[in-house]
Chain A
Amino acid sequence: MFIYAGKVAIRCYFYIRYNKKMLSPQQIESKLNRILLRVQKPGRYVGGELNSVVKNWDDVKTKVAFVFPDIYDIGVSNVGLKVLYDQINQREDALAERAYSPWFDMEALMRQHEIPLYALESKRPLACFDLIGFSLPYETLYTNTLNVLDLSGIPIHSADRDDSHPIIIAGGHAATNPEPMYKFIDAFVIGEGEEVIHEIVNVIQRVKGQRSKVNGDLRPETCDRNEILHELAKIDGVYVPKFYVTNYLEDGTVAYTEPTIPEARKLVNKRIVAKLPPPPTKFLVPNIDVVHNRVSVEIMRGCTRGCRFCQAGMITRPVRERSVEEVVEAADAAIRSSGFEELALLSLSSSDYTYVKDLVDAISKKFEGRKLTVSLPSLRIESVSIDLMEKLKQRRSGGFTLAPEAASEKMRRIINKYIPDEDIINTTREIYARGWTTVKLYFMIGHPSETLEDVQAIADLCKRVIAEGRKVAGWKVKLNAGVSTFVPKPQTPFQWVSSDTRESVLEKQALLKRELYKDRSIKLSLTEPEDAILEAWLSRGDRRMADVVYTAWKNGSRFDAWKEGRKYDTWMQAFAEHGLDHAFYTHRQRRTDEVFPWEHIGTALRKNFLFQDFRMSLEGQIRVDCRLNCFACGILPTFANLRRENPGKGWMCPDVKSPATKVKSETVNSNQLPVVGD
Chain B
Amino acid sequence: MRVRITFTKQNALRYIGHLDLHQLWERTIRRADLPLAYSQGFHPQPKISLAAALPLGFSSRGEVLDMRLKENMSVEDISKRLSDNLPVDVKIINIEEVEENLPALQTQVLSASYNVQLTEPVERSELMRRVESLMMSESIIRERRGKQYDLRPLIEMLSVITEANGNVWLKMTLAAREGATGRPEEVLLTLDIEPETTLVERTRLIFIT
On A, residues with C-beta under 8 Å from B are 30, 33-34, 36-37, 42-43, 45-50, 285, 287-289, 336-341, 371
The residue from A45, A49, A339 contacting B30, defined by CB atoms under 8 A apart: A339
Residues of B within 8 Å of A339, CB to CB, are 26-31, 85
CB distance from A90 to the nearest CB of B (A): 20
Bound: A48/B11 CA distance, A: 8
Contact of B12 with A46 in the complex, beta carbons under 8 Å: yes
Contact of B57 with A287 in the complex, beta carbons under 8 Å: no
Contact of A34 with B20 in the complex, beta carbons under 8 Å: no
Residues of A within 8 Å of B11, CB to CB, are 46, 48
Residues of B within 8 Å of A33, CB to CB, are 57, 119, 199
Residues of B within 8 Å of A338, CB to CB, are 27, 31
Residues of A within 8 Å of B56, CB to CB, are 37, 42
Residues of B within 8 Å of A36, CB to CB, are 15, 57
Answer whether A287 and B12 are a contact pair too, CB < 8 Å, given A34-B197, A50-B87.
yes
- Segment 1-50 of B: residues with Cβ below 8 Å from A: 11-17, 19-20, 23-24, 26-31, 33, 38, 44
Residues of A within 8 Å of B57, CB to CB, are 33, 36-37, 42
Residues of A within 8 Å of B38, CB to CB, are 371
Residues of B within 8 Å of A340, CB to CB, are 27
Determine chain A's interface SS by DSSP, over half rule.
mixed
Bound: A339/B14 CA distance, A: 21
Answer whether A336 and B119 are a contact pair too, CB < 8 Å, given A37-B57, A287-B13, A289-B23.
no
Contact of A337 with B196 in the complex, beta carbons under 8 Å: no
Residues of A within 8 Å of B44, CB to CB, are 371
Bound: A291/B56 CA distance, A: 21
Interface contacts (Cβ under 8 Å), in number, total 64
Bound: A604/B199 CA distance, A: 57
Contact of B87 with A48 in the complex, beta carbons under 8 Å: yes
Interface residue tally for chain B (C-beta within 8 Å)? 30
**Counting chain A CB atoms within 10 Å of each CB, which of B13, B16, B19 scores highest?**
B16
Contact of B27 with A285 in the complex, beta carbons under 8 Å: yes
CB distance from B81 to the nearest CB of A (A): 12
Q: A42-B56, A43-B15, A341-B27 are in contact. List 16 more A-B contacts (CB 8 A).
A: A33-B119, A36-B15, A36-B57, A43-B20, A48-B11, A48-B87, A49-B87, A287-B13, A289-B19, A289-B20, A289-B23, A336-B31, A338-B27, A339-B28, A339-B31, A371-B38
The residue from A37, A288, A341, A371 contacting B16, defined by CB atoms under 8 A apart: A288
Residues of A within 8 Å of B157, CB to CB, are none
CB distance from A648 to the nearest CB of B (A): 37
B89 at the interface (CB under 8 A from A): yes
Bound: A289/B20 CA distance, A: 7
B122 at the interface (CB under 8 A from A): no
CB distance from B62 to the nearest CB of A (A): 20
Residues of A within 8 Å of B33, CB to CB, are 336
CB distance from B47 to the nearest CB of A (A): 13
CB distance from B71 to the nearest CB of A (A): 15
Q: Which chain A residue has the least Cβ–Cβ distance from B196?
A: A34
Bound: A341/B44 CA distance, A: 13
| A and B contact pairs by CB, cutoff 8 A, 12 listed | A33-B57, A43-B16, A43-B17, A48-B12, A48-B89, A287-B20, A287-B24, A288-B17, A289-B19, A338-B27, A340-B27, A371-B38
Residues of B within 8 Å of A42, CB to CB, are 15, 56-57
CB distance from A291 to the nearest CB of B (A): 15
Answer whether A47 and B12 are a contact pair too, CB < 8 Å, given A42-B56, A288-B20, A289-B20.
yes
- Segment 67-93 of B: residues with Cβ below 8 Å from A: 85, 87-89
Bound: A357/B199 CA distance, A: 55
Answer whether A37 and B30 are a contact pair too, CB < 8 Å, given A48-B12, A48-B87, A287-B20.
no
Q: Which chain B residue has the least Cβ–Cβ distance from A47?
A: B12
Bound: A322/B10 CA distance, A: 40
Residues of B within 8 Å of A45, CB to CB, are 15
CB distance from A277 to the nearest CB of B (A): 24
Bound: A666/B13 CA distance, A: 52
